[in-house]
Amino acid sequence: MNLGHIVGAEFAWLIPGLCLTAFVITLVFGKFLPGRGSYISIAAILGAFLLFCSVFLDFVSNGLTPVSVDIQWIYIGDLGITWGFQVDRISVVMLGLVTLISLIVQVYSVGYMDGEPRFGWYFTLQALFAAAMLVLVLADNLLFLYIAWELVGLGSYLLIGFWYERRSASEAAKKAFITTRIGDVGLLIGIILLFKATGTFHISSIIHAANSGGISENTLICASLLIFLGAMGKSAQFPFHVWLPDAMEGPTPVSALIHAATMVVAGVYLVARMLPLFEMAPGVLPTVAVVGLFTFLFAGSIALVMTDIKRVLAYSTVSHLGLMMISLGAAGLAAAMIHLVAHGVSKALLFLGAGNVMHGMNNETNCLNMGGLQKKMPITAYSFMIGALSLAGIAPLAGFFSKDEILLAVFHKMGPIFLTLTLIGVFLSSLYMARLFLIVFRGNYRTERAKKAEESPAIMTVPIVVLAIFAVTLGAVVIPIANYQGLGTFIDASHHFRMLSWLTVMSSLIAICGMAVGWLYYGTSRLSPEKMSLRLGAFYRVIINKYYVDEIYQWVIDNLILAFSKFLAVFDRVVVNDTGIDGAGMSVLLSAIKVRLIHTGRLYNYSTAMVFGLLTVAIFWWFI
């Protein structure tokens, strides 16, 4: 049954191509189309998803050999810059994730953004983003990837600042763009370093060159760290995490798509792609793991005290991205990718559920104003619960298997201390998920508005249910059955699916513990969170102010950067412009004003000059 021959893997470039076409069409004709362009965009992404299925089947039936297509673009001397698309193990996984989540989110958006005046523009942006992200996933050379990287950042900026009439939204969009930009500089320098060392942008060629020792160790270390810097920016690792919570100013489906499932994992994907390079540079992988671990714990602690439902989910995303980085740092490529997929599905589910809650609560996001919503919106509540359990890592949901794989990799590579800290993070993860669910959906109605909340229309609940089903079944894909060796081996051929029983048991226990503690604090009134916060006092204040990171950044900007900018501005105006450029011109003018006075117009002055000249000639003539 060769369904793969419907569309072969070499036509993978059609997938982003469809979305790009949809972008252009909705950009130009959006107002005149039925549904203001939303149908075109959804049709394109649906087509993309179906294409993905076909490409996937073709890829599998060809024995998982990578397929790449190169379209020549420009030649600069010997260097040819191509648009290269490569379908291989990890890119095909990402392809599926991106198309599926995009499809679900866009369908959901039709309901969520109903009544929005700029409805068509929203779908135009969604199409742009989908196209850019798909290109990023398929790119086989670093330059093309960088272009897509920037385009994805642009899409994120436009979508975060979608309601730009709100000051906070436009500020958040700016913050996101600038913060990721800092990382992008590192990425660009890293790419250029690699180009200088190997003469090509092509990823496979670079890895091949590094394998055969063609790149010096210093270059490898520098380039890897710089590329990781770019990944840190995009994937919101500490200290670049500050943009992600603020990005919640955008519409909730945008948060679900971009800041849970697709864009933020671009960083993880990049590191995964370049992992062979990172492995060869000593000290890089431990750095990656340490940064990831710090982010995991840091963001997890903040998520514990946030009261805005979207902020909790945002910090949770940051935290789990840290977990993915830990996995990559432990050279657990398969584990990281599995968690990427599992987290993507679960977090998208959670965000869309939050969107439903906000929709029913008239855009209220403070979860202290909610409570008891399970009775009012049962579908949302149960789906949300599934997402929360999956993220906490309870079996047999998707999150359990991915967490297990990560812990396995950490245990094998990073030692017991690391493992302990990671387990603390796991505990935090399940604790704050339980807290969130219980505050929002259980207990008594805290406000009048909560009493009047209703379930959302079908167009918004069906996507959530679909995601919940995926969250439940994805776990099974990881386990090897018969000839199928499991998702892990699919991703990374050197991976073997194993379960270390004591580790699995311990991690499950910790997760359940977290749930239990959450239940104790928030589900019943046995323990009081208020008393706990009072007891912790100053420590609590630090966490709830997000460790004052934003304030530190603002101080640096105000006192260091802006002061330097002022100095540069003055220097530019005074030295470069007034003296250098104007000066050259003005010197002519000013000297002319002085020299002009030689022309007095008076006869005797001219005569004097003539005689003086005569005198000089006479003297010279006589002496010489």
What residues from 540 to 599 belong to the interface with other proteins (CB under 8 A)? 596-597, 599
State the distance between the two ends of the chain, measured CA to CA, in whole angstroms: 108
SS3 of residue 173 by DSSP: helix
Token readout for 581 is 């450029």
Subset of 365-404 contacting other proteins (CB under 8 A): none
Q: How far is the CB of 593 from other proteins (least distance, A)?
A: 10
Looking at residue 6, the DSSP 8-state letter turns out to be S
Q: How far apart are CA 114 and CA 107, in angstroms?
A: 11
Span of 138-146, 272-280, 501-509, 604-612 interacting with other proteins by CB under 8 A: 604-612
- The three-state secondary structure class of 459 is helix
* Smallest separation, CB 590 to other proteins (Å): 15
Question: To the nearest whole angstrom, how small is the minimum distance from the Cβ of residue 605 to other proteins?
Answer: 7
The helix, strand and coil proportions of the chain, stated in percent and rounded to the nearest 5, come to 80, 5, 20
Query: What single string gives the DSSP state of each residue in 404-438?
Result: HHHHHHHHHHHHHHHHHHHHHHHHHHHHHHHHHHH
Out of 115, 416, 585, 601, name the contact with other proteins by CB under 8 A.
601
Q: Is residue 615 near other proteins by the rule CB under 8 A?
A: yes
Find the part of the chain contacting other proteins (CB under 8 A) among 24-32, 127-135, 149-157, 613-621: 613-621
Residue among 471, 279, 483, 485 at smallest CA distance from 391: 471
Of the ranges 130-138, 203-211, 451-459, 614-622, which one interacts with other proteins (CB under 8 A)? 614-622
Cβ of residue 624: shortest distance to other proteins, in angstroms? 13
Q: Which is nearer to other proteins, 1 or 598 (CB)?
A: 598
Rounded to 10 degrees, the C-alpha dihedral 27/31/34/39 comes to 30
Helix (H, G, I), strand (E, B) or coil at 128: helix
Q: In a 10 Å sphere around its CB, with 0-12 CB exposed, 13-18 middle and 19+ buried, how is residue 615 labelled? A: exposed
- CA nearest to 421, candidates 434, 404, 407: 407
Instruction: Pick between residue 34 and residue 601 the one whose CB is nearest to other proteins.
Output: 601
Shortest separation between residue 588's beta carbon and other proteins, angstroms: 17
Shortest distance (Å) from residue 584 CB to other proteins? 24
Using the rule CB under 8 A, give the single segment among 8-16, 29-37, 319-327, 600-608 that binds other proteins.
Answer: 600-608
Nearer to other proteins, 554 or 605 (CB): 605
Q: How far from the centroid of its chain's Cα atoms is residue 230's Cα?
A: 10
Measured from the CB atom, is 577 or 616 closer to other proteins? Answer: 616
| Choices 27-35, 80-88, 409-417, 610-618; region in contact with other proteins by CB under 8 A | 610-618
- Can you tell me the distance from the alpha carbon of 397 to that of 469, in angstroms, rounded to the nearest whole number? 10
Task: Give the bridge partners for 82, in sequence order.
Answer: 72
Q: Which stretch binds other proteins (CB under 8 A): 53-61, 79-87, 564-572, 609-617?
A: 609-617
Burial level of 363, CB count in 10 A (0-12/13-18/19+)? exposed
CB 507 within 8 A of CB 423: yes
Tell the smallest beta-carbon distance from residue 157 to other proteins (Å). Answer: 59
Asked whether position 614 contacts other proteins by CB under 8 A, the answer is yes
Residue 80's H or E segment, with its range, is strand 79-87
Size of the site for other proteins (CB under 8 A): 18
Which residue's structure tokens are 């492995």? 279
Rounded to a whole number of angstroms, the minimum distance from the CB of residue 599 to other proteins is: 6
Residue 622 makes contact with other proteins by CB under 8 A: yes
Contact set with other proteins (CB under 8 A): 596-597, 599-605, 607-608, 611-612, 614-615, 618-619, 622
